Amino acid sequence: MTFTEKYAAEIEGIIARFPHKKSAVLPLMHLAQHHYGYMSDEAMREVAAILDLDPTHILSLAGFYTLYYEEPVGKYVLEICNDLACALRGADQFVEMACGKLGIGVDETTADGLFTIKTVMCLAACDRAPMLQCNLKFEENLDEAKFDALLAQWREQAAAETIDTSVVEKITAYAKDSKQLAVSS
Ligand code: FES
């Protein structure tokens, strides 16, 4: 099933909230990425077709914003902030620890396809570092024990094939309220 078919109601609802349908491009890209796992050619073509945009416009947006992935990524993308304020609270050591536990480097994905680690610029939670964002949810004040617990939780979810509907809810809420997508836990 295509993204357009599966989320027809959500797409219609998001577009209806904007005075010009082209303004719905970012939330629709999030929804397409949620469906396909990354901004695949198919995802870009579908969003472009829905909004009467050129696919190259979608491509340029996907390249500009770090929350859009142009290559396949793991089911859980761990975006760890290692910008200055977080670095002062041990973010670089946290990244090293996380990479070591998963046996991958930054911008790499585990062999089971579950986890990708990325480093990102400030996510506006500087006083709660080390922190990361995963599936639009902040995990803050992290240490090794908390990271172990999160890995266990994500692996359990993946094994149970639990569908996280909160991502779709956040995307549609974003379009409705024009608030930022990520929220503190
Ligand atoms: S520097 Fe990391 S959240 Fe601000």
The model's pTM: 0.80
Matching fold, domains 3-70 and 76-160: no
Task: Catalogue the long-range contacts made by 176-184 (C-beta closer than 8 Å, 24 or more residues apart).
Answer: 176/17, 181/30, 181/67, 181/136, 182/123, 182/133, 182/136, 182/137, 182/138, 183/136, 183/137, 183/138, 184/125, 184/128, 184/138, 184/140
Domain layout of the chain by residue ranges: 3-70, 76-160
Q: Which CATH architecture has domain 3-70?
A: Orthogonal Bundle (1.10)
Q: How far is the CA of 20 from the centre of ligand 1 (A)?
A: 33
Non-local CB neighbours of 107 within 8 Å, separated by 6+ positions: 116, 117, 118
Pocket of ligand 1, candidates 122, 133, 139: which has the most ligand atoms within 8 Å of its Cβ, to mutate? 122
Res 52: pLDDT = 96
DSSP notation for 7-60: THHHHHHHHHTSSSGGGGHHHHHHHHHHHHSS--HHHHHHHHHHHT--HHHHHH
pLDDT tens sequence for the chain (185 residues):
888 999 999 999 999 999 999 999 999 999 999 999 999 999 999 999 999 999 999 999 999 998 899 999 999 999 999 999 999 999 999 999 999 999 999 999 999 999 999 999 999 999 999 999 998 899 999 999 999 999 999 999 988 876 566 667 777 776 665 544 444 44
Q: How far is the CA of 144 from the centre of ligand 1 (A)?
A: 19
Res 165: pLDDT = 61
Res 181: pLDDT = 46
First to last CA, the chain: 32
Res 184: pLDDT = 41
Q: Which CATH architecture has domain 76-160?
A: 3-Layer(aba) Sandwich (3.40)
Structure tokens at 145: 């024990």
Q: How far is the CA of 88 from the centre of ligand 1 (A)?
A: 10
